Amino acid sequence: MNCPTCGKENEPSAQFCGICGSPLTDQQATGIDYGVDSSKPMVGFSEAISLGFKNYINFNGRATRAEYWWWFLFIVVTGVVLATIDSITGIGALQNIFNLATLIPGLALGARRLHDIGKSGWWQLLWFAIIVGWIIMIVWYCKPGNQLGNKYNI
């Protein structure tokens, strides 16, 4: 049986996880496996970037936390590198072109990430509610997806 917190495989008779100590009794009572979702495999950095550009106008379906946060890391690191190049060369357009090129894919990925937790993609408008909206969005983007499915399963 898998731990609902860390996903580690434990013996069937175990009542607590051997790694994190979480109770395993809820899983026994419900018969539901809350472990790692094998239907959506974990994506790595390059695969997340590839998926981001492949699904650049796809606002349907779901995206995993890993897919979202690898994309976020790509945007931040590339943005910093391009801003540095812009300031050194005096060109000033590289980062702006990159931002425009990744705006729609980023919005689509954000919508799919919100779908994974059962929320509409329109909730991204909370980014305009300074501070409070940012906190809510970050918490939602960090929240595990609904493994049992929701209305956004496609």
Q: Which of 132, 104, 110 lies closest to 123 in space, CA to CA? A: 110
Q: In this predicted structure, what is the pLDDT of residue 11?
A: 80
* Residue 52, pLDDT above cutoff 90: yes
Q: In this predicted structure, what is the pLDDT of residue 42?
A: 81
Q: Are residues 7 and 54 in the same domain?
A: no
- What is the pTM assigned to this prediction? 0.70
Q: Are residues 73 and 121 in the same domain?
A: yes
Q: Examine residue 74 and state whether it is found in any structural domain, yes or no.
A: yes
* Residue 140, pLDDT above cutoff 80: yes
Q: Are residues 138 and 82 in the same domain?
A: yes
Q: Are residues 31 and 52 in the same domain?
A: no
Q: Examine residue 56 and state whether it is found in any structural domain, yes or no.
A: yes
Q: Examine residue 87 and state whether it is found in any structural domain, yes or no.
A: yes
Q: Are residues 58 and 10 in the same domain?
A: no
Residues spanned by the domain of 95? 45-142
The pLDDT tens digits for 30-48 are: 444 444 444 567 899 999 9
Q: Are residues 56 and 25 in the same domain?
A: no
DSSP symbols for the chain: -B-TTT--B--TT-SB-TTT--B-HHHHHH----S--TTSPPP-HHHHHHHHHHTTT--SS---HHHHHHHHHHHHHHHHHHHHHHHHHS---HHHHHHHHHHHHHHHHHHHHHHHTT--GGGGGGGGSTTHHHHHHHHHHHSPP-TT--TT--
Q: Are residues 130 and 65 in the same domain?
A: yes
Instruction: Name the residue with higher pLDDT: 152 or 116.
Output: 116
| 154 — pLDDT class (breaks 50, 70, 90) | low
Count how many domains the chain has: 2
Q: Examine residue 148 and state whether it is found in any structural domain, yes or no.
A: no
Instruction: Name the residue with higher pLDDT: 145 or 9.
Output: 145
Q: Are residues 134 and 60 in the same domain?
A: yes
Q: Are residues 4 and 25 in the same domain?
A: yes
Q: In this predicted structure, what is the pLDDT of residue 40?
A: 64
The pLDDT tens digits for 90-109 are: 888 999 999 999 999 999 99
Q: In this predicted structure, what is the pLDDT of residue 137?
A: 96
Q: Are residues 128 and 86 in the same domain?
A: yes
Instruction: Name the residue with higher pLDDT: 81 or 153.
Output: 81
Average per-residue pLDDT for the chain: 85
Q: Examine residue 117 and state whether it is found in any structural domain, yes or no.
A: yes
Q: Examine residue 151 and state whether it is found in any structural domain, yes or no.
A: no
Q: In this predicted structure, what is the pLDDT of residue 34?
A: 43
Distances, alpha carbon 98 to alpha carbons 77, 88, 110, 117, 120, in Å: 12, 17, 18, 29, 27
Q: Are residues 128 and 67 in the same domain?
A: yes
Q: Are residues 58 and 126 in the same domain?
A: yes
Q: Examine residue 153 and state whether it is found in any structural domain, yes or no.
A: no
